[in-house]
Amino acid sequence: MRRIVLAITGASGAVYGLRLLETLAAAGVEIHLTISPAAQQVFYHEMGIELSLDHFDPRSLLPEPWGTWKKATLSHYQFRPLLDDSIQPASIGQLFYYPVRDYSAGIASGSFLTDGMAICPCSMGTLASISHGLSSNLIHRAADVHLKERRKLVLVPRETPLSSIALGNMQRLSEAGAVILPAMPGYYHQPQSLGDLVDFVVARVCDQLAVPHKLGRRWSETPSAGEFE
C-alpha cells in the first residue's frame, strides 16, 4: 500500500483536493491528510461542504455511501463514480488526519516514510512559505521534510495571473526538487463536463505520485483502449 501525504490549502479550487482524495482512496492508498483553516472556508464557499477541523470526521470528505456528503452536492461536475456500493470497505485506502498545528504528527519527521506528498490546491502563501523554509504549520513542515529527504513533492497552484514573486518562488521550489503542477487542464481529450477538466489535473498528480487510476484517456489511446491506468 502506497503512503501519500495530502495537504489542502485555501486556494480556490478545493474540488481538486476533494477529487484527489477520492481517487487516492479508490486506489487503496494510505492517506495522511491535513487541511488549513482557509481551506475549510473555501470548501464551504465553493461546494457547500462543512468541515470541522477540531473534531474532524473523515467521512465529511467522501461521498455516500462511504462518506457523509451527498453526490448531488457536486452533480453539476458530472464526475465518473470512483467509490460506489460495489467496492468493499477493505479495498479502499486508510485515511489519517492531523490538525495543521500538530507538529508531533508523524509527517513532520523525515523518519516517517512516505511515497510522496501533494499540496492540492496550493495557495501562494503556502508556496512562498515552503520556498523560503518557513515551517509555520504542519503543511509547511511536511513539505520541507519531503524536500530534504528528496521525496516527491507535488504542488498544485491555482492562481492567475502570477506575479514575479510567485514565479520566483515556483522556480526556487522546482530547483529544490518539487514538481510545480498548475491546475491547467488540457482540452485535447475533448472534455464533456467540468468533472473531466478536474480529472485531467488530478490524473497528472496521480501520475507524479505513481498512483494507478482510471480518470480518462491518455493521448493517442483510442476510446476502446481508453482509460488512464
According to the annotation, is 124 in a ligand binding site?
yes
Q: For residue 153, what are the β-bridge partners?
A: 117
Query: What is the C-alpha to C-alpha distance for residues 79 and 156, in angstroms, rounded to an integer?
Result: 20
According to the annotation, is 12 in a ligand binding site?
yes
Looking at this protein, which amino acid is placed at residue 5? Answer: V
According to the annotation, is 10 in a ligand binding site?
yes
According to the annotation, is 195 in a ligand binding site?
no
According to the annotation, is 204 in a ligand binding site?
yes
Contact 188, 174 (CB under 8 A): no
Sign of the torsion angle spanned by Cα atoms 209, 212, 213, 216: positive
Distances from the Cα of 193 to the Cα of 39, 72, 78, 171, angstroms: 24, 15, 6, 32
Query: What is the C-alpha to C-alpha distance for residues 121 and 82, in angstroms, rounded to an integer?
Result: 20
According to the annotation, is 150 in a ligand binding site?
no
Task: Say how far residue 92 (Cα) sits from the centre of its chain.
Answer: 17
According to the annotation, is 73 in a ligand binding site?
no
According to the annotation, is 126 in a ligand binding site?
yes
The one-character DSSP state at 6 is E
Query: What is the C-alpha to C-alpha distance for residues 101 and 89, in angstroms, rounded to an integer?
Result: 30
Backbone angles phi, psi at 66, to 5 degrees: -85, -20
According to the annotation, is 164 in a ligand binding site?
no
Binding annotation: 10-12, 36, 123-126, 158, 188, 204
| Known binding residues for dimethylallyl phosphate | 188, 204
Cite the annotated binding site for FMN by residue number.
10-12, 36, 123-126, 158
